[in-house]
Structure 1
């Protein structure tokens, strides 16, 4: 077993870091405070060819694995941008995966090339107010009409909907109570997000304000047949192909966020003097930070194992979920300890750690809660009865 990065993987890390280093604390603080999308950062990553790291080479992508995408996203979230920087681009890596796997040649060219180039931006329309993580209970409905479908429903927590012009949209085409299995009867679309016909209402929130979250209202919206991905009624099975990569990438982004906060805390502890000594000489400061390092490293390598398994085509559900769980916890603890290390100044915006702290709680909640992860592991790994 080799636990080191290859030369190619190190080159990915270093190349991404050169881009992220050009966007400093001031830039990200301004985006957060003004609630503006990081357009310049998104463009820089697109110009560097990074938005297509997992996409087919014939479409302008690099055709690399989730392992390489994880290395990239860890570097992005470890930068000054934190989780906001990662959220700016990570939908490109897992959101359109159903198009890569199940789209036809015309769809791949039409849908993926503009995403890779950065000229299109997509959002993810799956979660609903009354369904939450119970995706089989969504009620957004697509009714078949000549030439396409008429869609009505509501989505929530649609990230980047204010700036997106495309949406990955999961609907029902058969009511749940008429399906043999609750996972049947759902259909997936990749289509225009026409804001003259779809209302996208921004949700005020605690953190990650550079990347908007929204409630999305759809009323009798026409989607042409050519924007349906795969077969009608198979949409839930298609999005499953994105779930493990999503867990892996969110988990590794959480680790990067925690690592960035830890670096800031350690630097401050080396420089700050109180009662005539550097605070970093006190075990009350040292031990929590050292513990965070151990937690972050443990999460990192669990996630990298999950990514390696995925790229080999092997089962990785338990590892991907465990990595996301460990990464979210480690990030939150690290960001909390960073604020505590700075003391009163940690509560100010000047030192940035309060911004990272506000982002860190999200990673314990989304895209799947800690409780559902633990229930999954209990059932699938420990062979315990299903609890929900």
Structure 2
């Protein structure tokens, strides 16, 4: 990294930290209680130009790299916003990547400036209830009709669908082949048409202010000019969003862990039991110190992945490792913050229980820890595939 790049990263870190911290823990507690989307927070980042962080200036963004964007997302999570604030912003950061790299010029000029300004909200429609992590077995299908496609199927765990205007939707356009199971899927960037798509919200453990949904798609008509790139190559285009997603999610886990660590450290210094601060006890202090070390190490891996991505270098193993380490270090820090607070950890006013609920998601999504290990064992170590 050059000194100029380091300077840019620090400018982004300082500016986004100051902006995110204008929304305090009480704001996020209220959003969590009421299950309200944090529109005020999104608008503040839109007004600052940050939603278009990775969108080039010619399409209305500010043209930063993944390195700066990952730092921004970590600062958002670390401010106390956690995954509630992280998810509200990061859907402007990495999901548009396939459009940016493979969409038509008309598609990019029409929609990327609107995304950068926060004028539209998009959803990301890949996961299905019967396919799980085996995306090759999705059953949502798009059949060719005159001038376009007719889509039918079901999606699950779709974020933002209660409010989204557009959806980046993956559907099968050719039968699954055993020799090329990931071929034959196409990406569409289309309206989330509620006359043809039934949206049903899922009640869940955490991140209550950001909706997760089931989608039931019934004869949705999509035009030919809403195809992203070439027909049947959609899964390969998703990779352009998946590596930055993993680095960003890893950094969000790190930010969550740092928020919890800050709360726990303050509590450990203030809380007096048996005439001494509990932080004086090594059984309390050492786990917190260990978490600091692990969070710092996880950030080094995430930043390495982001730097490789920005240099247009292969970064699959590093991105997967960044997600794995960020999720583990973040969860461990939040779990230790719960232990430090003792019985008060269950009280919402101390905020650590919300951070714990939100960070736990990262061990499962968007890519489970087990699948990270499967990927590394086969792609990096050369061991036989387990799946």
The TM-score normalised by the length of structure 2 is 0.98
Shift of 1:343: 0.8
Q: Contact 1:37–1:163 at 8 Å: present in 2 too? A: no
Corresponding residue of 2:360: 361
Q: After superposition, what is the alpha-carbon deviation per residue over 1:294-317, rounded to whole angstroms, capped at 9, x for unaligned?
A: 111111101101111111111111
Q: After superposition, what is the alpha-carbon deviation per residue over 1:231-288, rounded to whole angstroms, capped at 9, x for unaligned?
A: 1111011111111101100111110000110011001111111111111111011000
Superposition RMSD on alpha carbons, in Å? 1.4
Distance 2:7 2:183 in 1: 44
Residue segments in structure 2 that go unaligned for 5+ positions in a row: none
Shift of 1:2: 7.4
Corresponding residue of 1:30: 30
Corresponding residue of 1:374: 373
Distance 1:299 1:180 in 2: 36
Corresponding residue of 1:73: 73
Shift of 1:196: 2.7
Distance 1:71 1:119 in 2: 24
Shift of 1:26: 1.3
Aligned residue-pair number: 387
Corresponding residue of 2:284: 285
Shift of 1:105: 1.3
Q: Contact 2:334–2:352 at 8 Å: present in 1 too? A: yes
Distance 2:120 2:109 in 1: 13
Residue segments in structure 1 that go unaligned for 5+ positions in a row: none
Shift of 1:126: 0.1
Corresponding residue of 2:46: 46
Corresponding residue of 1:219: 218
Q: Tell which deviates more after alignment, 153-162 or 102-111.
A: 102-111
The TM-score normalised by the length of structure 1 is 0.97
Shift of 1:180: 5.1
Q: Contact 1:347–1:354 at 8 Å: present in 2 too? A: yes
Distance 1:373 1:321 in 2: 6
Corresponding residue of 1:240: 239
Q: Contact 1:121–1:163 at 8 Å: present in 2 too? A: yes
Q: Contact 2:8–2:68 at 8 Å: present in 1 too? A: no
- Structure 1 residue matching 2:167: 3-state secondary structure: strand
Q: Contact 2:42–2:89 at 8 Å: present in 1 too? A: yes
Distance 2:195 2:49 in 1: 31
Q: After superposition, what is the alpha-carbon deviation per residue over 1:92-138, rounded to whole angstroms, capped at 9, x for unaligned?
A: 11111011001121100112111111010001000000001111111
Q: After superposition, what is the alpha-carbon deviation per residue over 1:169-205, rounded to whole angstroms, capped at 9, x for unaligned?
A: 000011214x751111111011110123211100000
Q: Contact 2:98–2:237 at 8 Å: present in 1 too? A: yes
Corresponding residue of 2:209: 210
Distance 2:346 2:50 in 1: 34
Distance 1:52 1:255 in 2: 22
Corresponding residue of 1:333: 332
- Structure 1 residue matching 2:205: 3-state secondary structure: coil
Q: After superposition, what is the alpha-carbon deviation per residue over 1:35-90, rounded to whole angstroms, capped at 9, x for unaligned?
A: 11101101111110000010011111111111011111010110121111000011
Distance 1:370 1:17 in 2: 29
Distance 1:95 1:315 in 2: 19
Corresponding residue of 2:386: 387
- Structure 2 residue matching 1:157: 3-state secondary structure: strand
Corresponding residue of 2:317: 318
- Structure 2 residue matching 1:92: 3-state secondary structure: coil
